[in-house]
């Protein structure tokens, strides 16, 4: 197949996990013998058009501003650029990550890969700025347009598929995420350390950090958070609360780590990975931890928790129970030897083959 992948973010331009997902899947499509082109946003570290790992990458110049404005600018400019690409190539399918192709008008079948649902996030009990609330509602409008024009929808979890069915009435297919080969166990000593990875925000469950640290510090465990501090007010409140409790020394924020492979060290040296998110359509971080031999505890609103029955050391519980459950889990792990038993065994080749089969089924190639 000739596949045109449209994604407003693609490494080295990274806003969230969708960027790496788009790259890993595009390159895996290419490894299966497909001709793959990617249309994405420009980034100053790379040229506008190039071939990388068998994938033809075309970058659209967009305004240098907030990520939200960059995205909207990309959506509008993608319309014309797709038409130009069609004069150069004949595509069998357009594969849109998120709502990246929501404004594209074309007589080619479109598959929408949904990574998250704005309507689910809008309903979360989180205070946001007036501007961000408007952005979410505008982007949810484009989300709806994307579903309306899609020949098929693929999601990352049953939880997400159920939300789409309930909100928009569309059926969808589930293909669970994979872990890149660059994420694997590193031979380092295991510390008395619990790990969180992701942006510092309430949606990721960071408001629970003081209660979690209070519990795990009783047994001498530290909590290490890796990720950008998006919500600076929440971060300040958390630090102040930790200081008042006299347990600030048991918490550390590392900040953002650019290369995914660098995370392997943090996963490997941690006793437990926790992900107490209020909402996460899938959540790659827990399964990346499993690939490094580290157990993971996730909230019930984390899509990858659907795999708990298959993977013994992937556990889930309500986010509200996390402070106590983390310590209970650590005590159980101290009594077991399990590193060799843990491995998340889905590759991006698996994801590409499953997606290939679904595309053929949906558009009957």
C-beta separation of 319 from 278 below 8 A: yes
Domain boundaries, the chain: 2-178+348-363, 193-341
C-beta separation of 37 from 43 below 8 A: no
CA dihedral 233, 234, 235, 238 (to 10 degrees): 130
Q: How confident is the model at residue 344 (pLDDT cuts 50, 70, 90)?
A: confident
Token pair 């020394």 is at which residue? 249
Q: Which of 3.40.50.410, 3.10.20.30, 3.40.50.11890, 3.40.50.2000 would CATH assign to domain 193-341?
A: 3.40.50.2000
C-beta separation of 13 from 336 below 8 A: no
User: Which architecture characterizes domain 2-178+348-363 according to CATH?
Assistant: 3-Layer(aba) Sandwich (3.40)
Q: What is the CA radius of gyration of the chain?
A: 21
pLDDT in tens, 196-248: 999 999 999 999 999 999 999 999 999 999 999 989 999 999 999 999 999 99
- pLDDT value, residue 60: 94
Helix axes 209-216, 322-334, angle to 10 degrees: 30
- pLDDT value, residue 139: 93
49: which strand partners? 58
Q: Is 62 helix (H, G, I), strand (E, B) or coil?
A: coil
Q: Is 310 helix (H, G, I), strand (E, B) or coil?
A: coil
Q: Which residues contact 313 (CB under 8 A, 6 or more apart)?
A: 290, 295, 296, 338, 341, 342
CATH topology identical between 2-178+348-363 and 193-341? yes
State yes or no: pLDDT of 71 exceeds 60: yes
Half-sphere exposure of 264 (CA within 13 A, CB side): 16
Q: How confident is the model at residue 182 (pLDDT cuts 50, 70, 90)?
A: confident
C-beta separation of 307 from 176 below 8 A: yes
Distance CA 174, CA 176 (A): 6
Residue 168's closest CA among 135, 140, 139? 140
Instruction: Please give the model's pTM, rounded to 2 decimal places.
Output: 0.92
- pLDDT value, residue 73: 94
Tell me the CA end-to-end span of the chain in Å, nearest whole number. Answer: 9
Residue 359's closest CA among 96, 105, 176, 168? 96
């Amino acid at each position: 197949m000739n596949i045109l992948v449209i994604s407003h973010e693609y490494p080295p331009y990274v806003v969230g996990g969708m960027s790496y997902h788009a790259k890993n899947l595009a390159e895996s499509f290419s490894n299966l013998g497909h001709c793959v082109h990617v249309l994405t946003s420009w980034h100053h570290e790379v040229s506008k058009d190039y071939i990388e790992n068998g994938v033809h990458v075309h970058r659209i110049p967009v305004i240098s501003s907030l990520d939200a404005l960059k995205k909207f600018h990309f959506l509008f400019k993608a319309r014309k650029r797709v038409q130009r690409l069609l004069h150069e190539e004949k595509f069998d399918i357009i594969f849109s990550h998120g709502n990246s192709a929501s404004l594209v008008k074309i007589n080619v079948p479109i598959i929408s890969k949904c990574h998250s649902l704005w309507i689910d996030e809008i309903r979360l009990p989180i205070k946001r700025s007036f501007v961000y609330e408007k952005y979410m509602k505008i982007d949810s409008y484009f989300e709806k347009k994307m579903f309306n024009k899609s020949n098929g929808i693929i999601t990352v979890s049953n939880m997400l598929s159920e939300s789409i069915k309930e909100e928009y009435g569309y059926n969808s297919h589930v293909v669970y995420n994979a872990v890149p080969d660059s994420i694997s166990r590193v031979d380092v000593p295991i510390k008395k350390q619990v790990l969180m990875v992701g942006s510092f925000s309430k949606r990721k469950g960071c408001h629970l950090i003081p209660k979690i640290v209070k519990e795990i510090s009783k047994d001498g465990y530290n909590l290490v958070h890796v990720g950008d501090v998006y919500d600076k007010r929440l971060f300040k409140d958390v630090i102040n609360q930790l200081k008042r409790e006299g347990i600030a020394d048991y918490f550390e924020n590392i900040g953002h780590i650019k290369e995914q492979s660098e995370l392997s060290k943090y996963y490997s040296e941690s006793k437990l990975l926790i992900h107490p998110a209020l909402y996460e359509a899938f959540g790659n971080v827990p399964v990346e931890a499993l690939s490094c031999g580290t157990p993971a505890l996730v909230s019930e609103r984390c899509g990858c928790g659907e795999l708990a029955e298959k993977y013994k050391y992937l556990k889930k519980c309500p986010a509200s129970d996390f402070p106590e459950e983390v310590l209970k889990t650590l005590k159980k792990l101290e009594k077991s030897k399990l590193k060799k038993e843990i491995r998340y065994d889905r590759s991006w080749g698996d994801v590409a083959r499953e997606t290939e089969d679904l595309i053929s089924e949906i558009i009957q190639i």
